[in-house]
Structures are given as C-alpha cells and as structure tokens.
Amino acid sequence: MTTQETRSPIQLQQMRQAFAKKTFAERLELSARPTSAELLSQFKKLSQKWDPKSGGDAEMYRLMREARDGLIEEARRVYRVARLVDRLHLPANYTPQNLTASFKKLSALYHPDFGGDNELYRLLVEAYQHLKDGPTPAASETKAGAPRPPTDRELTDILSAIANGPFKFESLTATFDRHNISPELLPEARRKQFYEDMRRVLIKQLAGLVRKGYVEYAMDMKRWANTGAQELLKNIHTEELIQAAFKSRCLQLLTQGPFVYHNEIVEWIKLGFKSPAIEGDAQARSAVINNCLITLTEGPLAFSAATKKWREVGFGYDLSKEPTVQSTILSVAVQASTSPFVFKTAAENWGSVWNTAELLKNPLVKTAILTSLQQLHKTKGQREKYYLQATEWKKLGVEVPTLLKLGPIRRLNLRIWG
C-alpha cells in the first residue's frame, strides 16, 4: 500500500475526505457490530500506521480515534450485560488454565496502559474474579450422577446468590446444572414455596437498585434476563416493595430540579414504570418548593424557567404565598422602587409571584418610592425626570407629592422628549 510520503498534498487531502465519510466500523475495517476485543485489536493494528509519533498523518489518526471512541461506548454497553464466560471468551467446559490464559490475553487488549479502555478492563477483572472463585466445569472428572433436587443447604445457597446479584446466581446455577441438581424435582408445595422465596429475595435486591437510579436497575435487569430468570422477573416492577423504592427515588430526584427529574422519569417509563402520582405528597411539595427557592436566588429568569418546567411535569404549586418567596420579592421591589420603569420591568420578569397592587401598598416600597422622588426633586437639573417618574408612579396608583409646576418651555420639551 502506498505510504504517506509518496502521496501529494492533494491526494492526502482527498484520502482524508473519503475516510471521513466512512462509518466508524468501516474506518477500522470491522463488521457492523464488532466485539470489544476485535475493536481494540484492530485499532491497535491500524493506528500504528497513522500515529504521528511514528511519522503518520495526524488527521487520519484523529479520524481513527474518533471511530474507536464512537464504537467503544456500544462495546461497553454490550459487555456490561454479557455473561461472565462470554466476557472472557470461554468455552462451556473451560478449565482453570483456559480461564487464566484468556484473562491474560484480554488484559493485554483492555488494560488502559496498553491503549485499552478503563471500563472494559474493570468489567473483565470483575468477570475473572467471579469465575476464579467458583468451581469450573472441568473441575471434577466424576460423572454428575442421577438428577436430584437440591438440599436445604443448597436452596439457601441459591437464595444467598440471588441476594448478591446475577453473577453469583449465574455461577451457582451453572454448577447445579452440571451436577444435575434441579429445583424442579422438589415436591410441588416445596417447589412453589421456594420460587416465592426466590422472587421475594430478587424483589428486595432490585428495590435496592431502584433507589440508586435507572441505569443500575436497567443494567441488572438485562443481566438477570441473561441468567434465564425471566419467569422470576415477570411484572416485577409492579411489586409493592419496588414501587415504594421507585417513589423514594422520585422524591430524591425532585431535589435535583425539574429537568433532571423529567429526564430520568422518561427512562423509568421506558422500563415499564408508570409516571408517579406524587403531586399531592407533602414530601414532594416540600422538595419542589425548596428547589424553587434555590433558583429564586439566581434571578427571575432561572426562577421562571424552573417553575414553568415544574408545571409541565405536574407540579404547578402556587408559590406566591410562600414566606420566603414573598420576602425575596419584597426585597427586589424595594430595590426596583428607584424608578417606575425598573419596577414594571421587574414585574414582567417575576411573573405570577409579583403582585404589583399588593407591593405598592407595602410601607417599605412606598417609603422607597417617595424617598427616590424627593431626591430627584432636590437635585438640580433632575426636575424633568422627577415629573416623568411621578407621572408614571401615579399611573400605577401611587399617591405622590403634588407635581411641580413647569413652565411652557419645559412642558414642551417633556412632550417632545417623552
């Protein structure tokens, strides 16, 4: 293949433009859905040619890295929910030697020090540690023997594995399968009770994840589905304990603002949850009001945007009667009383929480208005301004001192200027 040195600048530019039009997978000469190992291996192979440190073209190298970064997130998503043995590319009957060899090989690809990815390496180590601590399929050469139901101790082990997450459960059930141990062989009443116990433990485990957020919950649900526990997962989000955890999560989200709340609720609905009916809940009201009070200190635009978004997501509380809101608005009104024009602008900005008629009756506001007018009246050269402001205040219903008697020239100037 022609090297960079033999290409003219025009050829090189044409090559860059053609390369930029390719999909990320095409740039790395990969299939549409490459595995994480294929992705990192191919990037290392091709990037050596274009690495600027080795005399390659910086723009081509940037496009290669752009493709790698674009594909790596999808690879992480797939890798997170993959079975442990699939993460390490192991056969069904792997040995401890297979496990160690595969881990070493993939570590050289995934380790960040060798150009890999932090998240993929963490997931690789997680899978290796789980499999290393458990029995391997080839650990025993003896035959499994006749099928049998699990003992009470083994049933307890299954419940304990569920409480510790899908990886432990997957590892334990794989061991039971190899030894022909099946809960299906239990007496009917005992089997039914055991499945109820399994679901109860699973509900408790998932409720803890709901409180952490939809990302953790969705990821673990996919992992549980990969273990073959679909029957246990059926309509599990409607269980009382999980619904209580969901409400707790929603109340927690309310403290983070309407935009964070709305975005996460959308994701929960995609997972089968219903939008929570917590508008009348005292905790919800308190959380929303406290969040609005935080935005209140950021000014009218932030406050208006927050209250508008809260109304859109179903929390349209009347905040005008809240003592903290009233105190803040009164403080702003006093500061705006230096001019009727500033006062009217503030009224427009603060919207529904600003009651002009009530504020103008407040002694502090009235005092601030009269003090401002008196200052203009006393200041030489400010009488036209005094006349204009006094007129505007009077239009708003404020009782102001008798207007100055201006001569015909000044009145003409005011009409022209106004």
Tell me the CA end-to-end span of the chain in Å, nearest whole number: 79
Q: Rounded distance, CA 238 to CA 243, Å?
A: 6
Q: What does pLDDT average to over the chain?
A: 80
Binned at pLDDT 50, 70 and 90, residue 240 comes out as very high
Q: Rounded distance, CA 128 to CA 84, Å?
A: 8
Q: Rounded distance, CA 368 to CA 375, Å?
A: 11
Percent of the chain predicted with pLDDT > 90: 7
- The confidence score (pLDDT) of residue 204 equals 92
C-alpha torsion 288→326→312→306, nearest 10: -70
Give the pair of three-digit tokens for residue 63. 């496009």
- Is 94:83 a contact under the CB 8 Å cutoff? no
Summarised one tens digit per residue, pLDDT across range 314-371 is 887 777 777 888 888 888 888 888 888 888 888 888 777 788 888 888 889 888 888 8
Q: Rounded distance, CA 404 to CA 401, Å?
A: 9
Residue 298's CB is within 10 A of a number of other CB atoms, namely 11
DSSP designation for 94: -
- The closest alpha carbon to 273, from 249, 248, 238, belongs to 238
Summarised one tens digit per residue, pLDDT across range 121-149 is 888 888 888 777 665 555 544 445 678 88
**Contacts with 252 (C-beta within 8 Å, 6 or more apart), sequence order:** 211
Give domain limits for the chain: 4-116, 148-234, 336-417
The DSSP string of 385-416 is: HHHHHHHHHHHTT---PPPP---HHHHHHHHH
Residue 110 has pLDDT above 80, yes or no: yes
Q: Rounded distance, CA 193 to CA 35, Å?
A: 41
Binned at pLDDT 50, 70 and 90, residue 1 comes out as very low
Q: Rounded distance, CA 134 to CA 144, Å?
A: 17
Q: Beta partners for 181? A: 148
- The confidence score (pLDDT) of residue 193 equals 92
Give the pair of three-digit tokens for residue 231. 């029957």
pTM, two decimal places: 0.58
- Is 366:359 a contact under the CB 8 Å cutoff? no
Mean per-residue pLDDT, 282-297: 83
Among the ranges given (13-27, 30-44, 57-71, 344-358), the one the predictor scored with the smallest mean pLDDT:
30-44
- Is 158:214 a contact under the CB 8 Å cutoff? no
Residue 405 has pLDDT above 70, yes or no: no
- Is 232:202 a contact under the CB 8 Å cutoff? yes
Give the ranges where 211-322 is alpha helix by DSSP (H): 214-226, 230-233, 240-254, 258-270, 282-296, 300-312
Give the pair of three-digit tokens for residue 150. 């699990």
Residue whose token pair is 């600048």: 9
Residue 397 has pLDDT above 60, yes or no: yes
The residue among 343 and 80 whose pLDDT is bigger is 343
Q: Rounded distance, CA 98 to CA 105, Å?
A: 11
Residue 412 has pLDDT above 60, yes or no: no
C-alpha torsion 357→362→366→367, nearest 10: -170
- The confidence score (pLDDT) of residue 414 equals 42
Residue 75 has pLDDT above 60, yes or no: yes
Mean per-residue pLDDT, 73-89: 74
Output the CA torsion sign for 137, 84, 81, 38.
negative
HSE, CB side, 13 Å, CA atoms: give it for residue 314: 12
Residue 156 has pLDDT above 60, yes or no: yes
Q: Rounded distance, CA 252 to CA 162, Å?
A: 27
Give the pair of three-digit tokens for residue 409. 């020239």
Q: Rounded distance, CA 211 to CA 412, Å?
A: 71
How many Å is the maximal CA-CA distance in the chain? 118
Residue 401 has pLDDT above 70, yes or no: no
Counts for the chain of helices (H) and strands (E), in that order: 22, 0
Q: Rounded distance, CA 117 to CA 110, Å?
A: 6
